[in-house]
């Protein structure tokens, strides 16, 4: 599939499919239709079939999808056999919560280094992960071959840190700050604005807008 351009919306749904297929296989379900899968993942069947068609013939008419074969296929697409190391930038309340979240149990990533400015946290071990000074950012990212950074820092320093991360060779940033980062197209940024998500949810509730 390296030669085929997969739509961004489809790519964002692949981890959802993978997670639920794994649950299905664990429950002993070996075959499923797009209609039944749609009911489980809450994505309409037509979208599922369209997503899957991007990767060729993954199912059979009248049979549906082989759960184990589909799971193995998406595991390969998501590179589940390759454990990626991530850096956590900022160890405030949100940073601590993310550090406590065991990414490795649900994905192929782990936090292997934390970077902080608080001298009380630097050179300590938090939840089994070493905490480094921000002064050591470039050196440690290169030494540990870190490709992904999770940013939970104040907005006023986010852009400067993003620039340092890009120069250090980081390929992707999961951005929990409200600032939209100015980086080159060579680096992928996924923005997670919790305040915006909450406000959107409240708007949907107030206006009775259904998914």
Query: Would the annotation count 83 as a binding residue?
Result: no
Query: Would the annotation count 90 as a binding residue?
Result: yes
Element (H, E) at 9: helix 8-26
Residue showing tokens 């107030």: 206
82 touches 145 (CB < 8 A): no
Nearest Cα to 112, choosing from 176, 186, 179, 170? 170
Query: Would the annotation count 95 as a binding residue?
Result: yes
Three-state DSSP state, 105: helix
150 dihedral zone (left: phi>0; alpha: psi -120 to 50; beta): beta
Q: What stretches of 27-126 show up as alpha helix (H) in DSSP?
A: 34-41, 45-53, 67-77, 93-100, 103-106
Distance CA 200, CA 163 (A): 30
Element (H, E) at 12: helix 8-26
Three-state DSSP state, 22: helix
Query: Would the annotation count 64 as a binding residue?
Result: no
Residues that constitute the known binding site for NAD(+): 90-95
Residues that constitute the known binding site: 90-95
């Amino acid at each position: 599939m390296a030669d085929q351009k997969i739509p961004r919306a489809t790519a964002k749904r692949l981890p959802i499919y993978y997670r639920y297929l794994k649950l299905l296989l664990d429950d002993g379900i070996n075959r499923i239709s797009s209609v039944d899968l749609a009911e489980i993942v809450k994505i309409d069947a037509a979208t599922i079939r369209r997503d899957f068609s991007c990767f060729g013939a993954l199912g059979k008419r009248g049979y549906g999808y082989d759960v184990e074969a589909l799971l193995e296929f998406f595991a390969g697409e998501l590179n589940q056999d390759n454990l990626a190391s991530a850096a956590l930038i900022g160890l405030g309340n949100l940073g601590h919560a993310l550090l406590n979240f065991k990414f490795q149990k649900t994905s192929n990533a782990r936090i292997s280094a934390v970077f902080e400015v608080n001298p009380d946290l630097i050179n300590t071990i938090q939840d089994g992960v070493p905490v480094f000074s921000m002064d050591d950012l470039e050196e440690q990212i290169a030494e540990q071959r870190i490709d992904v950074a999770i940013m939970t820092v104040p907005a006023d320093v986010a852009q400067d840190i993003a620039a340092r991360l890009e120069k250090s060779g980081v390929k992707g940033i999961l951005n929990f700050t409200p600032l939209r980062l100015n980086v080159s197209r060579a680096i992928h940024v996924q923005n997670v604005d919790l305040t915006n998500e909450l406000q959107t949810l409240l708007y949907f509730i107030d206006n009775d807008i259904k998914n």
